[in-house]
Every structure is written in C-alpha cells, then in structure tokens.
C-alpha cells in the first residue's frame, strides 16, 4: 500500500514539473527559433512620431531583460543609427534628425548581451518640412471688433481641421503695451481677448500638426488683422438735404443724429413738397476704414417718421457720390447693424434714403464701426 502511495506521489510531482517547464518554454520560445537559433526580444508595440525634418521612434522594453542595444536602418540600409538601451525605464525612444522631407521605411534590430539579434521590425514614417508648411491654409478671420467693454471679439471662419489645423495664435499689444501671444483652439468659433489695446493691429497664424503624434508644430505666416471699434464722433460734421427748423425743436438739425443720444433726432422738413429721396451726409474730418454701420430710428415713433430703404454712398470730396450698397431699415426701437460687403475707406459717408412710411425722413443716431 505504501509503495502505491509513493508511486502516485512521484507521478504527481512529475506532472507539476512538466507543466512548469512548459510554462518556462512558452515564455522564452519567442527568442528561440526552430533549429536552436536564439533571437533577442524584438521591439514591443513600436510607434512612429513625425516631426520637422526629424522622426521619433519609440517602443516598449518587452520581456527580454537581456536586450542592451538597438540598431536602426533607413534609406535601404545606407543610413543607420545605433543606441544603447538603458537598464531602467519602460519605453525606449530615439529621435533621428537631419532628415529630408519625405517618407521613410525604418528597420529596427535589437541585440542582447550575447550579441544575438532580434528579428527585424519595419516601421513607416514621414518627415515634414518647409514644403509641407508652405501649403498650409490660414484660418480666415470673419470679423474682429472691440466691444463697449474693451474686449476684442474675433469671429473665425472654418479651419482646415482635416488638414491638421488645431489652433490659432493671436499676437497683439495688450493694455500694458506688451506684445503677447495667445493660442485658441480651432473648435472656438469666437475668441475673446480682454486685455487688447484698442487702436492697435494684431497678427494671426494657424498652427498645424500633421499627425496626432507629431513632435513638432507647423505654422502659416503671420497675417496682419485690423480690429474695428466704434469711431469717436467728436470731430464729425453732419449735413442733410433739409431739416425741420422749428417744428421739432430741440430736434431737427442733422447734428442731432451724431450726438450719441437716442432721445434726440434729425428730421427733414415736414412740408409735403419735400419728398424722397432724402439724405444725411457725414464728414469724419479724416479717413477711416469702415466695416459696419449702426442706425437707430426715432424711438417710440419709428412707425411713421423714418425711411425704410436706403443706399450707402461714399465720396472722395464730399460733393460727388458713389453708391456702395443698399439696405432696408426696420421701423422699430433700438439700434440696427449693417455690415458692409467689404471694408470701405473714406472720409465722407452718405445715407441716401429712397423710401419710407411717409414723405419725410428722420434718424435718431448714426454710428460707424471701423479703424484708422
């Protein structure tokens, strides 16, 4: 009976030993080829990171602790690089510089302390440079305007996200007269800068990454941008085709339409002989670049006292006028905005009213938004 028990125990121990040996074999069989050739552990989970005339290769250390060196070939093995693998750290990485702007096929070998080589690992990568950068598209600015609180509001057009655009840099002068740069992601439709110095220009450029793994960023050239603001009316002079001399006092004169007071207004003569067209002309006393107009009807009396259609006109001398564009004015309280189709540089502007609810015209306020 004791003999049977001993033989059973011996058989059980042999089975356990055999299983342990098989487990060890499975751990190291990746390094031993049929026929007895030993290979070093190859790079594990390798990745390629593109850059500006350079490429970064990285991989995990792997299970073979004896791996101590690596050699990388490219350009059909005409170029190579050797590196020593440190004893610590989970990730091995190397940056290959001075590369032409093109695609590359890298072949990586690792070596253990006995000089055994791994099987080759091929990696595809691409180096980017001036040629790529010259083809990048800048994200257009739709509008940029300083609001009443002094904030610069920049409205952006769509960015070339599929082409790698991921941010926009804005270089500007702040309220401390320092030149600073702020970066805004392309997911922002509108960007706000709270410390912008009014009356200055700014520059913008679009930032690109050709890959989410890119180790470098690329830029479009800086482009100058002009921030509009509501232009001060101190030196303006307003004239009109006519105005009510006494019937609307203290209102009536055209100057009442440029006094920043919605409670006052300009109105043409109220005699039936003064019919459309009517006009209100403004001399800014210097040239400005105009981007937008703001008009306000006579408050609480708009339905019967103002015009409904008008033409924006400009002049080189204040006498001969050229049509720019046409708009419709809604008869209501508040201020209405009219974006010009393109930036208009002029000293003279005329609101040429062509029709209205009655035969006379009026306007509580005219403002212009632009820059010098």
Span 132-227 CATH architecture? Sandwich (2.60)
pLDDT tens sequence across 235-275: 999 999 999 987 888 899 999 999 999 999 999 998 777 88
Q: By percentage, how much of the chain surpasses pLDDT 90?
A: 80
Cα–Cα distance measured from residue 105 to residue 243, given in angstroms and rounded to the nearest whole number: 81
Over residues 125-153, the mean pLDDT reads 97
Give the pLDDT confidence score for residue 34 in this predicted structure: 55
Residues 6 or more apart whose CB falls under 8 angstroms from that of 140 comprise 156, 157
> For residue 60, what are the β-bridge partners?
44, 91
Span 237-371 CATH architecture? Sandwich (2.60)
Read off φ and ψ for residue 2, nearest 5 degrees. -65, -35
The CATH 2.60.40.10 domain(s) of the chain lie at: 44-127, 132-227
CB 147 within 8 Å of CB 228: no
The CATH 2.60.120.260 domain(s) of the chain lie at: 237-371
pLDDT tens sequence across 175-199: 999 999 999 999 999 999 999 999 9
pTM: 0.79
The better pLDDT of the pair 358, 8 is held by: 358
**Tokens read off for 256:** 């009442």
Considering just the CA atoms, what is the radius of gyration of the chain in Å?
38
pLDDT above 70: residue 9 = no
Residues 6 or more apart whose CB falls under 8 angstroms from that of 202 comprise 144, 152, 170, 171, 172, 173, 196, 224, 225, 227
The Cα-based distances of 87 to 44, 68, 83, 91, 365 in angstroms read 16, 8, 13, 11, 77
Average predicted confidence (pLDDT) for the chain: 90
Give the pLDDT confidence score for residue 302 in this predicted structure: 55
Q: By percentage, how much of the chain surpasses pLDDT 70?
A: 89
Which residue's entry shows tokens 């030149």? 179
pLDDT confidence bin for 12, thresholds 50/70/90:
very low
pLDDT tens sequence across 302-344: 556 789 999 999 999 999 999 999 999 999 999 999 999 999 9
Cα–Cα distance measured from residue 35 to residue 32, given in angstroms and rounded to the nearest whole number: 8
Q: Which CATH class is domain 44-127?
A: mainly beta
CA atoms within 13 A on the CB side of 99: 26
The Cα-based distances of 169 to 57, 132, 200, 202, 231 in angstroms read 29, 19, 17, 10, 27
pLDDT above 70: residue 153 = yes
pLDDT tens sequence across 269-292: 987 778 899 999 999 999 999 999
């Amino acid at each position: 009976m004791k003999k049977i028990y001993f033989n059973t125990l011996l058989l059980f121990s042999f089975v356990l030993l055999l299983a342990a040996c098989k487990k060890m074999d499975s751990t190291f069989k990746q390094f031993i080829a049929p026929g007895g050739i030993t290979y070093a552990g190859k790079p594990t989970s390798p990745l390629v990171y593109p850059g500006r005339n350079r490429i970064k290769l990285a991989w995990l250390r792997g299970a073979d602790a004896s791996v101590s060196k690596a050699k990388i070939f490219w350009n059909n093995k005409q170029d190579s690089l050797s590196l020593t693998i440190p004893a610590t750290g989970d990730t091995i990485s190397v940056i290959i510089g001075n590369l032409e702007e093109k695609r590359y096929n890298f072949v990586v070998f690792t070596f253990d302390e006995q000089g055994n080589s791994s099987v080759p690992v091929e990696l595809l990568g691409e180096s980017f440079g001036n040629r790529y950068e010259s083809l990048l598209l800048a994200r257009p600015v739709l509008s940029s305007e300083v609001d009443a609180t002094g904030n610069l509001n920049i409205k952006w057009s769509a960015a070339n996200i599929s082409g790698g655009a991921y941010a926009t840099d804005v270089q500007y002068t702040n309220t401390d007269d320092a030149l600073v740069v702020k970066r805004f992601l392309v997911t922002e439709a509108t960007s706000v800068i709270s410390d912008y110095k009014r009356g200055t220009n700014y520059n913008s450029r679009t930032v690109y990454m050709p890959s989410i793994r890119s180790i470098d960023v690329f830029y479009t050239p800086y482009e100058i941008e002009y921030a509009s603001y509501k232009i001060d009316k101190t030196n303006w002079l307003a004239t009109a085709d006519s105005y009510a001399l006494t019937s609307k006092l203290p209102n009536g004169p055209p100057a009442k339409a440029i006094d920043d007071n919605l409670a006052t207004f300009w109105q043409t003569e109220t005699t039936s002989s003064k019919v459309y067209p009517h006009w209100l002309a403004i001399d800014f006393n210097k040239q400005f670049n105009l981007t937008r107009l703001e008009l306000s009807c006579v408050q609480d009396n708009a339905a019967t006292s103002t015009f409904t259609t008008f033409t924006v006109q400009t002049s080189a001398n204040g006498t001969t006028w050229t049509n720019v564009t046409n708009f419709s004015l809604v008869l209501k309280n508040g201020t209405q905005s009219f974006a010009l189709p393109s930036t208009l540089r002029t000293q003279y502007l005329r609101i040429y009213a062509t029709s209205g609810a009655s035969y006379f015209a009026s306007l509580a306020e005219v403002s212009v938004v632009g820059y010098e």
